[in-house]
Every structure is written in C-alpha cells, then in structure tokens.
Chains A and B, each alone.
Chain A
Amino acid sequence: DQQVKQNSPSLSVQEGRISILNCDYTNSMFDYFLWYKKYPAEGPTFLISISSIKDKNEDGRFTVFLNKSAKHLSLHIVPSQPGDSAVYFCAATPSYNAGNMLTFGGGTRLMVKP
C-alpha cells in the first residue's frame, strides 16, 4: 500500500514558467513533509519541508503548499530554470517518529526546457 503517491511520473515546463509538482498521502499520522531533488547518479538532496501546523513554506524560488483536509501537498518552482531538471521526491514522516524515518513517493521527473 503506497502511503505517499506522486501520480505524475514526468512533467515538462518551459524555462521561466512555473513548475507544479503534486503529492498525495493516505496516512493521517503524517505531520511533517519534505521534498528532495535527485540528479542522475547522485543521492537525493533536501530541498524544502513543511510541518502540518503550516499551510505554506517558502524558500526562494521554491514554495510548498499543504492541504491537510485533502491530504495533498504541492511544490511550486517559480521561475523554473534548466538546472531544476531532476527527479523530485515527496516524503513524509509521522508525529510519533522522532527519528525521521521517511516514506517516499515514487518521484516526478521534471524537465525544464530552455
């Protein structure tokens, strides 16, 4: 049973436009959410996170939105740059887990065209 789902395996966006990556979860115990970015032949790198007490967190060009009632979060990248082309993973962890054991989604490959 996939507790974290990224239903779009790929997304193509023009440089300068907005990229929106979506993520859905089923476990209502999840209360902390993260996005990781992964380039080929490298490990995932942390991008941005959000706690369930917030509905938005912003860091430069990256903004994560959380809709708890819909169990949905999204990552917005504005403006998109060719260097943003990578696989993006959504991850979640429950409130009772202080050890940050993350459950990952399957990833979305973002391609930003110059």
Chain B
Amino acid sequence: EAGVAQSPRYKIIEKRQSVAFWCNPISGHATLYWYQQILGQGPKLLIQFQNNGVVDDSQLPKDRFSAERLKGVDSTLKIQPAKLEDSAVYLCASSSGQGRSPLHFGNGTRLTVT
C-alpha cells in the first residue's frame, strides 16, 4: 500500500510571497487532514476533509490560508501572503474514516519563510 505522498519536501520563500503544498492520500481514504507542526511542538490540526467536503476548519487562519480537495482525492494547501510565523512542517494525513482508524501521515513539507 502506497503511503501519503506530499510535495515539495522543502520550500523557502520570502515573507508576503505565496506558496502551495500538494497531498495525495492513501487510495480509498475518505478523510484527509492538514496539520501544521512548528519546531518543538506537536502537530496542530488546520483542516479536515471528508471526501471533498470540509468537516472542520476552525483552526485555519482563513485570512491567509486556503485548502481544497477537488474530486475528493488530492488536496492542496495554500498560504498567501506568508508570514515569518508560518515557518513549520506541513503534514498531510489520511484515514479510512471508519471508526477509530488511525491517521497515516506523509513526510511533510518543511516551509521556511525569510
């Protein structure tokens, strides 16, 4: 079973620029999550999708962050404009969505904003 794929692995941008991250979940997984992990902290949920619908985006800074999951498979997370405090690893995870099925994480995208 192929894992969760994310790209790019690393990205360096200047503040006020925009950036986009891509995620391809495990085949057949209905639920997709984006987490932000700041250095030295645990992952923090940004948004959860069930198929192509948003389940929870209460912690997504909507003035600068946006995410979509067209066709209920791949997802993109965008930041525009980026701030210094957005420097973090952005993790995508997926699960089958059945019962307490565990989340499977990708290797993340490390974003550095200078």
Q: How far is the CA of A45 from the CA of B4 in the complex (A)?
A: 11
B-contact 0/1 string along A42-57, CB 8 Å cutoff: 1111100101000000
Q: Are B40 and A106 in contact (CB under 8 A)?
A: yes
Interface size on B, residues (CB 8 A): 26
Closest to A38 in B: B105
Q: How far is the CA of A32 from the CA of B31 in the complex (A)?
A: 18
- Pick the interface stretch among A11-19, A74-82, A94-102: A94-102
In whole Å, how far is B61's beta carbon from the nearest beta carbon of chain A?
17
Mark out the residues of chain A between 50 and 106 whose CB falls within 8 Å of any chain B CB in the assembled complex. Answer: 51, 89, 91, 99-106
Residues of chain B within 8 A of A32, CB atoms compared: 100
Q: Are B43 and A101 in contact (CB under 8 A)?
A: no
> Using Cβ atoms and an 8 Å threshold, which residues of chain A touch B93?
43
* Residues of chain B contacted by A34 (CB below 8 angstroms): 102
The answer to whether A42 and B107 touch across the interface, beta carbons within 8 angstroms, is yes
With a cutoff of 8 Å between Cβ atoms, the chain A residues found around residue B102 in the complex are 34, 46, 49, 100
CA A34 to CA B85, docked complex, whole Å: 28
Taken together as a complex, chains A and B put the C-alpha atoms of A6 and B40 apart, in Å, by 12
Which B residues contact A (CB, under 8 angstroms)? Answer: 4, 31, 33, 40-45, 48, 50, 55-56, 91, 93, 95, 97, 100-108
